[in-house]
Amino acid sequence: MFPSIADVLALPAVRTGAPQVVAGDAGLQRRVRWVHSAEVPDIAVQLQGGELVLSTGIALPADHAGLTDYIHALADAGAVGLMIEMGRRYTGRLPKSLLAAADDRDFALVTLADPTPFVNVTEAVHAMIIDAQLGELQATQQMHHRFTELSVDGAEPAEVVRQVSQLSGCPTVLETLTHQVVVYDPAGRSPRTILHDWEPRSRRIQPAERTAYDVTTRWLVTLVGARGHDWGRLVLLCDEPPAPRVTVLAERAAATLAVNRLVTREVDSLERQSHISLLTALRDHQLPAEEIALRSGALGVPLVRRRLTALVVRTAGTPVLDTPMLTWQAQLRDLAETVASACRTHGVPALVGSLDDTQIGALVSMPGGGREAPAAAERLDALARTIHDRARDRRSLTGTGLVVGAGHTVQSPAEARRTLAEAIQVAEAAALRPATAVLHRVGDIHVRGLLNLLRDDARLQTFVERELAPLLRHDAQHQQQELLPAVRAYLECGRNKSKAATLSHLSRPSFYDRLTKAQTILDLDLDDAEICLSLHLAVLARDAMRGSVPTSAPSRTKGST
């Protein structure tokens, strides 16, 4: 807010006097709160701190001890500098005792070689101070306006932290009370420099007040919370003691974070939000693997020199259509907490969060090394069983059950995206058929996994239409005599008509009749192995495109046996 002595020396009103710093140049960056002209030796008793004193020197003590005491008195009173116009009392140079005392206290001592109207200096400096105060006031008003908007919009913590970093120019970190980094903005600096050994460094800073500046670490720390319940700390890494505006900025941002947390209390927890952001960044290539590993480690989930396996948990099939969206989202959040709780029970750190409106992702971190591979596989199976059991007990989701898919285990953060992508594919493919295993792996999905990957390909869609269109048109017109379920049962039973009839809950004559009709409509020989292979691929591809769990049981007509 206030100009430094160096800023004052650059003013035209001062430069006309040919200023020269003759001692105490280490104090040139001290801030000038006021300019005071005085010709009495005991002026120090009238000062309040931050003054730049102007004098001609005519009333200064004549002896060396008096001059030394004069400088020390000014410094003790909080004055920041002394500017003496030469020619009235002193010519050539100032007394050595005056210079020595100023150097001893790093007290800026400036001479003006030419006559200088002190009133011009006072007016110029005070105008600079008023302009700075006005600018500070305007900046503060803009800051309050901006954070009011963020509060109204319910901004995410990442956006609030980003605004603090931009407005202050300082790296900004939002951490939990256990000193785990939730969100940060490096302000253009290296994230590694900021986050390295964050937890032990942060634990050493325990301010006595809600907002305080630690001189040793140069951290400005303010608590985040409301209604007597603090849940985090906002930390600004400052290069110098923060200006009052920066302190107000930190406190205003903390209030915004607290208000938004109260408003969104029913939404994901702060920890879950941070996990979601990292999983999303990993899936969508939004951040380098090194930065993801760094941020994950700060959250207490180490990724370096660990065995990493992604799990994806979702419903088998699609959500029940009459489930309200808000209820569905609440159930999905409940499932995320169920997965996180299961990971904690088994002692495995994991990033857990929703990947979209249908599935929960978990990047599980286990100790590295080849010897642990069998134990790690058993641990994953046990974890999947716990997820199933707890979701069933809590009735976390409405649907046809849960599917847990796993990707390959990888050894580095750079490969973490691959295991996550595989887990997503496995879960999606496994959800297209009734659940048959507690944990589905890449080797379990076979051709369904391939078709699930290609489900948006126009060429595959054309193939499905070409193979099944006649049958689908018939079923749309004769919903009580659908033929596709019979064909599906026949193909899934390896062309065993007797077994397929039993699976379809139809008598053999009724089932054979439907199969014959289907063969006629398709104009294909259903005893031909290659034709049946093509039809089976088309049926599976259609399931992948529809994203639903099929049923092999056709609808019954009245009187069917």
Q: Bridge partners of 236?
A: 172, 220
What digits encode the pLDDT tens for the residues 284-312? 888 898 999 998 998 889 999 999 999 99
Classify residue 177 by its DSSP letter: T
Assess if residue 551 is contained within a domain. no
Q: Which of 78-82, 251-255, 306-310 has the lowest mean pLDDT?
A: 251-255
**Could you tell me the pLDDT band of residue 320, with boundaries at 50, 70 and 90?**
very low
Most confident of 200-204, 260-264, 272-276: 200-204
Q: Which among 478, 474, 491 is positioned nearest to 539, based on CA atoms?
A: 491
* Domain match, 63 and 168 both: no
Tokens 């702060």 appear where?
Answer: 270
Asked if residue 145 belongs to a domain, the reply is no
Highest mean pLDDT among 227-236, 367-376, 541-550: 227-236
User: CB of 44 within 8 A of CB of 72?
Assistant: no
Q: Which of 395, 429, 448 is the last residue of a domain?
A: 448
Amino acid 263: pLDDT:
57
Predicted confidence at residue 322, as pLDDT, reads 44
pLDDT at 376 over 50: yes
- Looking at the fold, whether 308 and 425 belong to one and the same domain comes out as yes
Pairwise pLDDT comparison (228 vs 51), residue with the higher score: 51
CB atoms within 10 A of CB 24: 25
pLDDT of residue 471: 87
Looking at the domain assignment, is residue 290 inside a domain?
Answer: no
pLDDT band at 264 (very low <50, low <70, confident <90, very high): low
Residues 113 and 175 in one domain: no
CA of residue 297 relative to chain centroid, distance:
13
Q: Do 256 and 349 belong to one domain? A: no
pLDDT the model gives residue 552: 42
Tell me: do 111 and 53 sit in the same domain.
yes
Helix, strand, coil content of the chain in percent (nearest 5): 50, 15, 35
Find the mean pLDDT for residues 426-454: 76
Asked if residue 109 and residue 72 are part of one domain, the reply reads yes
Claim to verify: residue 178 and residue 61 sit in the same structural domain: no
Judge if 225 and 175 occupy the same domain: yes
Tens-place pLDDT, residues 98-144: 999 999 999 999 999 998 899 999 999 888 888 877 777 767 777 77
The residues pairing with 308 across neighbouring beta strands, listed in sequence order, are 365, 410
Confidence of residue 327 (pLDDT cuts 50, 70, 90): low
Within 139-199, strands assigned E span: 172-176, 181-185
Confirm whether 526 is domain-assigned: yes
Tokens found for residue 423: 């887990």
Which has the minimum average pLDDT: 52-66, 201-215, 363-377? 363-377
| Predicted pLDDT of residue 560 | 36
pLDDT in tens, 161-195: 998 998 889 999 998 887 888 889 999 898 888 98
| Domain-embedded: residue 239 | yes
Residue 32 has pLDDT above 50, yes or no: yes
**What's the total number of domains in the chain?**
4
What share of the chain has pLDDT > 90, as a percent?
Answer: 30
Q: What is the pLDDT of residue 394?
A: 61
Assess whether pLDDT exceeds 90 at residue 460.
Answer: no
Q: What is the pTM of this model?
A: 0.53
Give 185's strand partners: 172
The Cβ-side half-sphere exposure at 426, using a 13 Å CA radius, reads 26
Please check whether residue 278 lies inside any domain of the structure: no
Q: Which residue, of 428, 448, 468, is where some domain finishes?
A: 448
Residue ranges making up the domain that contains 534? 458-546
Q: What is the pLDDT of residue 218?
A: 93
Residue 248 belongs to a domain: yes
Other CB atoms within 10 Å distance of the CB of residue 533: 11
Indicate whether 350 pLDDT > 70. yes
- Kindly state the percentage of the chain with pLDDT values over 70: 88
144-148, 275-279, 381-385 — which is least confidently predicted?
Answer: 144-148
Domain-located, residue 158: yes
The last residue of a domain, from among 400, 417, 448:
448
Identify the CATH number of the domain in which residue 171 sits. Answer: 3.30.450.40
Q: Among 188, 261, 196, which residue's Cα sits nearest to residue 223?
A: 261
Quick one: 309 and 370 in the same domain? Answer: yes
